[in-house]
Amino acid sequence: MKRALIVDAGNTTLSWRRWELDEPAGPVMRGRRDKAEEVVAAAVDGRAEAIVLIASAPELGVAIEAEAILARMRVVRPGKDLPVAMETEYRVAGQLGVDRLLGAYAAMKLVGAPVVTCSAGTCVTMEAVDKRGVLVGGAITPGLRAMMAGVKAAAPHLPVPEELPLAGLGGDVVGKTTEENLSVGIWLSLGAMLDRLAELGRYAVGMGAPVVMTGGDAAAAVRYCRAVTRIVPDLAMDGAARALEAWVEDEQL
């Protein structure tokens, strides 16, 4: 395979990127989650040989596969059709989300092992990779939007906005209105969670391990945490690209 479209079908965003062997990665494109046909059209227009599908959201993955069948486009699933060269210590094979596996794999290739990865998305996740390059475990907790949805459900009288404004870190750290209280509380809770999970991951694999963060809320969340050493916005897609390169190289040997 020399040309593919890498697609990340997440819980809140749909992203894709052109991949071509021995060429720089294409720009990341983003679209609405109800527009699976746009992704398949991009693959066809780009003369891709396959769609490499990272389906964190199963229903969106099914929709993309259905559109791909209509367009006679091959779909490759990392961890299933596409090998990812990383061992794990998960007790139940297949439970680990492929986006988390790919993110850990990409981080290891980027900065070496040991390494800790954190993702700030619908959920906050952490993965810990030891010095052997083995993913030894991780953690999952609600992310920004899950926290906001929880507040809305449990306390519907509170004015939770659709988009939570960033909390100030200057003189007025505490909120002076209900909206500001929510902003301060949720953003700082997110930062504290990321720091604590990073610390947990480092405790498992080595306190000097770098922490690589990804996810849709990473660029904003990094303001409120101290442990992160590097942000890579689309780490799972980077992992898929690296797995593709390794797979093609092995096939050519």
Percent of the chain with pLDDT over 70: 97
Please give the domain boundaries of the chain with CATH numbers for all domains: 3-77 (3.30.420.40), 98-237 (3.30.420.40)
CA distances from 29 to 32, 162, 209, 237 (A): 11, 23, 31, 12
**pLDDT recorded at residue 175:** 82
pLDDT(253) > 50: no
Confidence of residue 214 (pLDDT cuts 50, 70, 90): very high
Do strands 3-9 and 50-55 pair parallel, antiparallel, or not at all (unpaired)?
A: parallel
**pLDDT recorded at residue 202:** 98
Q: Tell me whether residue 211 is exposed, middle or buried, using C-beta atoms within 10 angstroms of its C-beta: 0 to 12, 13 to 18, 19 or more.
A: buried
Count Cβ neighbours within 10 Å for each residue of 185-204 and write b for 16 or more, e otherwise.
Answer: ebbbebbebbbebbbebbeb
pLDDT(156) > 80: yes
**pLDDT recorded at residue 252:** 58
Instruction: Quote the pTM value.
Output: 0.93
Could you tell me the two tokens for 85? 């060269």
For range 139-164, the mean pLDDT: 93
pLDDT digit string (tens) for 106-122? 999 999 999 999 999 99
CA distances from 100 to 57, 103, 128, 160 (A): 13, 5, 10, 29
For range 124-138, the mean pLDDT: 97
pLDDT(166) > 90: no
Percent of the chain with pLDDT over 90: 77
Classify 21 as helix, strand or coil. Answer: coil
For range 82-100, the mean pLDDT: 93
Sign of CA dihedral 51, 56, 58, 60: negative
Higher confidence at residue 211 or residue 177?
211
